[in-house]
Amino acid sequence: MDPARVGRWVEGFADRHGPHTTTAREYGLLLTASDGTTAELYAPPGSPAGVDVAGFVTSAVAPRRIGLLLARKGAVAVGVAEGADLVVSKVDTRYVQGRTAAGGWSQQRFARRRDNQAKAALGDAAELAVRLLLPEAARLAAVVCGGDRRAVDSVLADRRLSPLVPLRAERLLDVPEPRHAVLVAAVAAARAVRIRLRDPAPD
């Protein structure tokens, strides 16, 4: 959810479920309504959790500088966002051969070629991250990743990128093959407040 809409959503939550208590949690806020319904509000990466709804919203909507790293086999998108604006970006796509129906030696040869192509693509991805994200490390509130977790882990395993590892957010964005449009959309997803509703426990 867009952080700017959270305040109104909380008002609607109270209308639907009755007055609620607010409890600060490591992830953000826990709202517990009088009918037993709870809502977990997850602060966006790099945003302080806050102690009440007003503080939570103020922190969530505030502009933050975040890094973005989207990776899937053969494709990577790296960017830096200032608030809702993508201010630095680069997308790189390498060809990675698909699976072959052939068996035996040919299948093994194609598999090795595909693995080598994937490794080369991830190496290029690490180079992009070094060029675009590493110089920004001291100014980034968080690094938000997306795509294939294994591919992202492989990129961040590059020793040169160790300053970015502590900034990595737990949130992993579910994105298709990285393209510029996907990277632009990822900015909003990275800044979004996630809400998890839980119905009252049965008697």
- The number of domains in the chain is 2
Regarding whether 53 and 93 lie in a shared domain, the answer is no
Q: How confident is the model at residue 121 (pLDDT cuts 50, 70, 90)?
A: low
Regarding whether 154 and 69 lie in a shared domain, the answer is yes
Regarding whether 120 and 103 lie in a shared domain, the answer is yes
User: Which residue type occupies 172?
Assistant: L
Regarding whether 130 and 72 lie in a shared domain, the answer is yes
Regarding whether 73 and 58 lie in a shared domain, the answer is no
pLDDT at 88: 93
CATH of the domain at 123: 3.30.420.60
How far apart are the C-alpha atoms of 35 and 200, rounded to whole Å? 7
Domain limits for position 135: 65-191
CB 7 within 8 A of CB 57: yes
Asked if residue 175 has pLDDT above 90, the reply is yes
Read off the pTM. Answer: 0.83
Backbone phi, then psi, for 163, in 5-degree steps? -65, -20
pLDDT at 107: 60
Share of the chain above pLDDT 70, in %: 85
CB 79 within 8 A of CB 65: no
CB 53 within 8 A of CB 22: yes
pLDDT per position as a tens digit, 52-94: 999 999 999 999 999 999 998 778 999 999 999 999 999 987 6
Regarding whether 79 and 178 lie in a shared domain, the answer is yes
pLDDT at 109: 57
